[in-house]
Amino acid sequence: MVYNRILHVDMDAFFASVEQLDHPEWRDVALIVGGRPEERGVVASCSYEARRFGVRAGMPMRRAAQLCPHAIFAPGRRWRYSEISAQLYELLLGFTPFVEMASIDEAFLDLSGVQDADEPIKLAQALKASIRNELGLTASVGIASNMFLAKLASDLQKPDGLTVMPVDAAAIKSFLAPLPIRRVWGVGTKTEALLHDYGFKSIGDLQASSPELLSQLLGNAAGRHLFELAHGRDERQVEWQPALEKSLSKETTFSEDCGDMQQARQYLRRLCEEVGARLRRQKRLAGAAHIKLRYSDFRTITRQMPLKPVTCSDRVLLRAADQLFDAVEKKAALRLIGFGVSKIVEETAAVSEPQEQLLLFPEKEQLEAGEAAARDASLDRAVDQLRERFGDDILRRG
């Protein structure tokens, strides 16, 4: 049976909204991200307040400044958008493993297996609430029977929209008919202009054409594909990644900037233990550890070190976190602190690989290292079991 099993989520005014999140004084005003008004660049993103004046993504900066001279112009911070994009991906994986990030701010979810028609809608509402609560941003969602229709739907009621497409083929066809042809996925400015020249204005015009005619205009594959899409038919599958991460990290943003470095260190150690517990649950070992600090002025640094031999022991991870933290500047207050591990291998793979580092130890130390590792493992196991029974706060190491 055909049913609505694909969900498309697209963040609203993404770069502009992230800037407004980080700069509260820029909220509710016209904000243009992409550079200075006198520069040669184009608008990357703009707030909905700026859109009211006709400003659009891709427009030359100077033109935007003419339309909306009172706007605030921000340069754009790629690393920050990528960071939030990664958080979005993590958040979506909490709903289903079948997630494909289609660009920095949009993703498809395959909900195959849902039991009733209401389920995707409830899920979409929960997902929007999480994005709002956890990321502080809004997104628009489309739900449909395939990827093309879901993407189209998410765009229909922006911002903060939720649009559900019909499932019945005839209803879909009439839904699409009045929309302009540029709504079809893959119809860019050039294709649009060419099709306009031949009198195709609405998707209905394409529906009334034929695959043969469209193939003559656009080439065989593209023409047939366009004809299918115009009828709301799309066979593509969501390409999700198996969710075994090569790195694992946890971070926390302080509700108020933290100037007390002892307290910051406690937070770091706590994150470190959470990462350790997760590694052990997955029966994996890490080959490197890193910390991440963001200062109150948003300057962000990461420092990392190798872990040899690979480990999942809290004792070793905590020592690494402490060493890394000892070595960084602590004059400015912190906005965020994080701990993570990378170069992760499966426990079984690590056992079968020769531990070069260990073989370099003199015999006695080698023995001691082995004993220490065994002691660590049994202590960690006991701690994990206690935490599982009594919750995370039962044991904290000093």
CA-wise closest residue to 300 among 70, 48, 56, 84: 84
Helix (H, G, I), strand (E, B) or coil at 126: helix
Question: Are 47 and 31 within 8 A, CB to CB?
Answer: yes
CB closer to ligand DCP, 105 vs 273: 105
Whole-number minimum distance, CB 250 to ligand DCP, in Å?
27
* Least spacing, CB of residue 70 vs Ca ion, in Å: 24
Beta-bridged to residue 9, according to DSSP, are: 107, 141
> From the list Ca ion, ligand DCP, none, which binds 267 (C-beta under 5 to 8 Å, kind-based)?
none
Nearest residue to 300 (alpha-carbon basis) of 243, 346, 338, 327: 338
Residue 28 Cβ, how far from ligand DCP at the closest point, in Å? 16
- List the single partner that 285 binds among Ca ion, ligand DCP, none, CB under 5 to 8 Å by kind: none
Tokens 């699409």 sit at which residue? Answer: 176
Residue 337, classed as helix, strand or coil, is strand
Cβ–Cβ under 8 Å, residues 318 and 265:
no
Active-site choice (19, 49, 100, 106): 106
For binding to Ca ion (CB under 5 A), which residues are involved? 10-11, 14, 105
Judged by CB, which is closer to ligand DCP: 99, or 248?
Answer: 99
- 273 in catalytic set: no
User: Which one, of 331, 304, 318, lies nearest residue 271 by Cα?
Assistant: 318
Q: Which of 14, 325 has the CB closer to Ca ion?
A: 14
Contact 43, 34 (CB under 8 A): yes
Nearer to Ca ion, 84 or 341 (CB): 84
- The Cα–Cα gap between 357 and 375 comes to 19
Q: How far is the CB of 76 from ligand DCP (least distance, A)?
A: 8
**Which of ligand DCP, Ca ion, none has residue 175 at its interface (CB below 5 to 8 Å by kind)?**
none
Would strands 334-342 and 248-258 be described as parallel, antiparallel, or unpaired? antiparallel
Q: Which does 162 bind (CB under 5 to 8 A by kind): Ca ion, ligand DCP, none?
A: none
Nearer to Ca ion by Cβ, of 10 and 100: the residue is 10
> Which parts of 155-260 fold into alpha helices (H)?
169-176, 189-197, 203-207, 211-218, 220-230
Where does this chain bind ligand DCP (CB under 6 A)? Answer: 10-15, 44-45, 57-58, 104-105, 158-159
User: How near is the Cβ of 105 to Ca ion at its closest, in Å?
Assistant: 5
Cite the active site residues: 106
